[in-house]
């Protein structure tokens, strides 16, 4: 999925293309020969086995987007999205465990960290220490003006004291560091300048996590609350060393996160469709495979068409990102389309399976439950529709 040849060379060249293609082929084999056979264990135990986690760290999956000088693979956005897409063919937990590292956390470091912060945290996440991203709260999600977590200057030093609760935080039970968004000004300020970002070690006194939430799907991937009770962090924990920039860093990193979710939804839709193809050729009715029935073929064809469209969107938005373009709207559009598309595909897959699609012993039922969250996290479809429309209207008014 390279950028069109008639466009300018990308700003971010990433890994050497031949080397990356070899890595991608190796990863495809690993997904099919190692990760998919272990899915039953992941589901039964609701965890990724430690030996697989060790293998994933050794393969460098936790540092895909970390610059090479800090121990990472230095992938560009196009390559990163393809890796996510390949990994997402297997159970969602495998992507989820490293996605925050290489997505929103690494992106926030790139966009806003000081050189000292990059030198400290890039190598740690590249070696496989797990990160999480703390924006959502019990009383606020997309509404940053309602964010209640506070950070006030420490009267006993040059640091900060954090208090508040974060909710639905992916990988919170396993993370060693959290990027926490906190209010550093009591009043809501223009462009969300009342929000700042802090790098908070999860073993800092006063940090605790709730029990992992029970979820509809995505077994082995864990979310939990993070509680911050008079958590003291040093002054250099403030991302970028400047207050009022946290929301900007968060929003820029969310572009990355939305591409990751879109790539994952597209990869999982492909897995579901492949399963439906296999089932339709094996299942017989009226003396022949149901794959011969035209209405089954229509559902298969519609799914292939939509997956292809999402793959094309992924190639386009990531190429734009690598050229340094502003991708806020297109990343949102890709995430909306891919996540909604995945929902339609898994619904068709259940229908193709028929009665078997409603039974837990078949994969279709799991695909249906797993896919539902893609339309919610990293910005619900409805929030992203509002964001896209807002930018469309702003652009219209600018040009009239």
DSSP 32: I
Regarding whether 199 and 84 lie in a shared domain, the answer is no
pLDDT in tens, 315-345: 999 999 999 999 999 999 999 999 999 999 9
Rounded distance between C-alpha atoms, residue 109 and residue 348, angstroms: 40
| Res. 144 pLDDT band, cuts 50 70 90 | low
For residues 323 and 8, the answer to whether their CB atoms sit within 8 Å is yes
Regarding whether 31 and 167 lie in a shared domain, the answer is no
pTM of the model: 0.91
Return the half-sphere exposure (C-beta side, CA atoms, 13 A cut-off) of residue 355: 1
Q: At 87, which CATH number? A: 1.10.540.10
Q: At 145, which CATH number? A: 2.40.110.10
Percent of the chain with pLDDT over 90: 81
Regarding whether 301 and 369 lie in a shared domain, the answer is yes
| Region label for 153, one of left (φ > 0), alpha (ψ between -120 and 50) or beta (otherwise) | beta
* Helix segments in 133-245, DSSP class H: none
Average pLDDT of 106-125?
93
pLDDT in tens, 251-306: 778 888 899 999 999 999 999 999 999 999 999 999 999 999 999 999 999 999 99
Regarding whether 230 and 261 lie in a shared domain, the answer is no
Percent of the chain with pLDDT over 70: 96
- Judge whether residue 3 has pLDDT over 70: no
Quote the tokens at residue 396: 């219209």
Q: Which domain-ending residue is among 226, 244, 262? A: 244
Q: Which domain-ending residue is among 212, 244, 276? A: 244
In 3D space, the residue among 283, 202, 197 whose CA is nearest the CA of residue 246 turns out to be 197
Q: Which residue has the tokens 């193809």?
A: 277
Q: Assess if residue 222 is contained within a domain.
A: yes
Q: Which residue has the tokens 């890595």?
A: 23
Rounded distance between C-alpha atoms, residue 57 and residue 340, angstroms: 31
Q: Assess if residue 4 is contained within a domain.
A: no
Angle at 268 between CA 128 and CA 374, to 5 degrees: 80
**378 catalytic residue (yes or no):** yes
For residues 111 and 249, the answer to whether their CB atoms sit within 8 Å is yes
For residues 308 and 234, the answer to whether their CB atoms sit within 8 Å is no
Q: Which of 176, 282, 378, 395 is catalytic?
A: 378
| Res. 1 pLDDT band, cuts 50 70 90 | very low
What is the predicted pLDDT for the residue at 2? 45
What is the predicted pLDDT for the residue at 282? 97
Q: Structurally, how many domains does the chain consist of?
A: 3
Q: What are phi and psi of 153, to 5 degrees?
A: -60, 135
Q: In whole numbers, what is the pLDDT of the chain averaged over residues?
A: 92
Q: Which domain-ending residue is among 195, 226, 244? A: 244
């Amino acid at each position: 999925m390279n950028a069109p040849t008639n466009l300018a060379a990308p700003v971010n060249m990433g890994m050497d293309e031949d080397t990356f293609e070899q890595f991608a082929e190796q990863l495809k084999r690993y997904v099919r020969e190692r990760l998919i056979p272990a899915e039953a264990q992941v589901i039964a135990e609701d965890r990724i086995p430690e030996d697989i986690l060790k293998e994933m760290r050794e393969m460098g999956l936790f540092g895909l987007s970390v610059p090479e000088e800090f121990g990472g693979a230095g992938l560009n956005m196009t390559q990163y999205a393809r890796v996510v897409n390949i990994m997402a063919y297997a159970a969602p937990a495998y992507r989820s465990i490293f996605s925050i590292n290489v997505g929103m956390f690494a992106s926030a470091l790139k966009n806003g960290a000081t050189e000292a912060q990059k030198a400290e945290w890039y190598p740690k996440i590249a070696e496989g220490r797990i990160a999480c991203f703390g924006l959502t709260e019990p009383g606020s999600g997309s509404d940053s003006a309602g964010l209640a977590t506070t950070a006030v200057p420490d009267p006993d030093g040059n640091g900060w004291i954090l208090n508040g609760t974060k909710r639905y935080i992916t990988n919170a039970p396993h993370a060693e560091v959290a990027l926490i968004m906190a209010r550093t000004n009591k009043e809501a300020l223009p462009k969300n300048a009342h929000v700042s970002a802090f790098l908070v070690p999860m073993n800092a006194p006063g940090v605790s996590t709730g029990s992992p939430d029970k979820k509809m799907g995505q077994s082995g991937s864990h979310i939990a609350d993070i509680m911050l009770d008079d958590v003291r962090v040093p002054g250099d924990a403030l991302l970028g060393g400047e207050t009022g920039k946290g929301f900007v860093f968060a929003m820029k990193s969310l572009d990355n996160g939305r591409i990751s979710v879109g790539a994952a939804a597209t990869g999982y839709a492909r897995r579901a469709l492949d399963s439906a193809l296999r089932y339709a050729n094996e299942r017989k009715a009226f003396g022949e495979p149901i794959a011969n029935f035209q209405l089954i073929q229509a559902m298969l064809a519609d799914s292939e068409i939509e997956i292809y469209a999402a793959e094309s969107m992924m190639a386009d938005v990531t190429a734009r990102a690598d050229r340094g373009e502003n991708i806020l709207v297109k990343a949102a559009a890709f995430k909306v389309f891919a996540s909604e598309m995945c929902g339609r595909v898994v619904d068709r897959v259940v229908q193709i399976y028929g009665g078997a699609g409603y039974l837990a012993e078949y994969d279709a039922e799991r695909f249906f439950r797993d896919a539902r969250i893609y339309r919610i996290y990293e910005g619900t479809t409805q929030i992203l529709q509002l964001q896209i429309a807002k930018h469309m209207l702003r652009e219209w008014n600018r040009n009239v």
